[in-house]
Amino acid sequence: MPRKTGSNTVQPIRDKEKIQAVKKYLLKKSQRDHFLFHMGINIGIRISDLIQLKVCDVKGKRFTYVKEQKTGNKKKITINPSLRDAIEDYIDLMELESNDWLFPSRKGDKHITRVQAYRILNDAAKHVGLEEIGTHSLRKTFGYHYYQKTKDVAMLQEIFGHSAPSITLRYIGINDEMIGESLEDFVL
């Protein structure tokens, strides 16, 4: 995976039309890949935690627990009604069993890898004309749009497990956006 797409250099997808374009593109390619993107931007967990989910972790549940690979912390993840419905539809469509991986690899009896998730997202991003996209873009997109809807940086900080609001704002690209907007009309 290229170094330039680390979590500090990738961006959220800010444009909702681009989000829809990515969904449409991925749906044509693969139900699994489409659902990976859909769930990723609606649940806000790291890709390394998302790809390790099994059907039994999410099917029919209002929340699930994830042991975060990065921190080792056990985290409660809320699954809203809309996402629960999408999960049920996806599981039925893919004919997945309770102990199956939610995002199964086509090679063997494992889940897709982080590298494969990156390839999926990178391909879709190129197709719809997005740059600076990586696996963290799913989580950042969730955070960006959550913040735009609620303006509650404290709650988003808690969701992400960040130590300060400034870290959360920088992570979702709000600081850069706010600086750019504030300087747009600045003239001496």
SS3 content of the chain, % helix, strand, coil (to 5): 55, 5, 35
- Measured at the alpha carbon of residue 90, what is the angle toward residues 56 and 120, in degrees to the nearest 5? 100
Whole-angstrom Cα distance, residue 63 to residue 113?
24
**Token representation of residue 22:** 């990515």
Domain 9-181: top CATH class: mainly alpha
Query: Could you state, in order of their start, the residue ranges of all structural domains in the chain?
Result: 9-181
pLDDT (tens place) for every residue of the chain, 188 residues total: 333 444 458 999 999 999 999 999 999 999 999 999 999 999 999 999 999 999 999 999 999 999 999 999 899 999 999 999 999 999 999 999 999 999 999 988 999 999 999 999 999 999 999 998 999 999 999 999 999 999 999 999 999 999 999 999 999 988 777 777 778 888 88
Q: Which of 70, 74, 106, 151 is catalytic?
A: 70
To the query of whether residue 65 is one of the catalytic residues in this protein, the response is: no
Give the list of residues 6+ apart from residue 146 with CB closer than 8 angstroms, or none: 44, 152, 156, 159
* Residue 34 annotated as catalytic: no
H/E segment holding residue 23: helix 16-29
pLDDT at position 8 is 52
Asked about 3 being catalytic, the answer comes back as no
Which residue is catalytic, options 59, 139, 140, 145? 139
Q: What is the pLDDT of residue 1?
A: 39
Q: Is 139 a catalytic residue?
A: yes
**Is 111 one of the annotated active-site residues of the chain?**
no
Annotated catalytic residue, options 32, 38, 46, 111? 46
Main-chain phi, psi angles of 11, to 5 degrees = -115, 160
- Six token digits for residue 150: 């609620």
